[in-house]
Amino acid sequence: MITRFSHSTIWVLDQAAAKEFYTKTLGFVVRDEVTTDFFSWLTVSPPDQADIRLVLMEPGSPAHDPETEAQIRSLIAKGALGGGVFDTDDCRKTYEQLSAAGVVFTQEPAERPYGVEAVFRDDSGNWFSLTERRGWDPEKPFA
């Protein structure tokens, strides 16, 4: 039986640059960093959330053939892949802080039925929702 979800992959164009972006710009913490003969395993997460790890992985061998790798890299760079939702206590304040740090936002903070949301891209092109939730209970679906 599956007991929990622990890791999610974010495909990046350059793992070293992504590590710099996620740690220095977003303030995440490196949780795992292991290099083998055929790939480098790098995980990060917000400082107070060690139970979920984001795997920053470059497309390519051994997981992808050259044609698939090129297709994935193209989708990443176009901003066609969404990485998920990052929660924040104050979307507008975090938006100002991250904008000042050079993060590119495609949507400024705006009121939504579930709270305040902004959308940004990481250094590879992946987009993420930055959301300040109101009245959200993780045990219940959105109303």
pLDDT of residue 82 exceeding 90: no
CA distance 61 to 69: 8
Q: What is the pLDDT of residues 47-76, one digit of tens each?
A: 999 999 999 999 987 778 999 999 999 999
Walk me through the domains of the chain, giving residue ranges and CATH numbers: 7-133 (3.10.180.10)
Q: Does the model's pTM come out above 0.75?
A: yes
Q: How many CA atoms lie within 13 A of 129 on its CB side?
A: 13
Query: Residue 117 forms beta bridges with which residues?
Result: 110, 131
The single-letter code of the amino acid at 111 is E
Q: How confident is the model at residue 142 (pLDDT cuts 50, 70, 90)?
A: low
Element (H, E) at 68: helix 66-78
Q: What is the pLDDT of residues 21-47, one digit of tens each?
A: 999 999 999 999 999 887 889 999 999
DSSP three-state, residue 77: helix
CA dihedral (86, 92, 98, 101) in degrees, to 10, reads: 180
Between CA 110 and CA 55 the distance in angstroms is: 29
**Residue 24 DSSP SS3:** helix
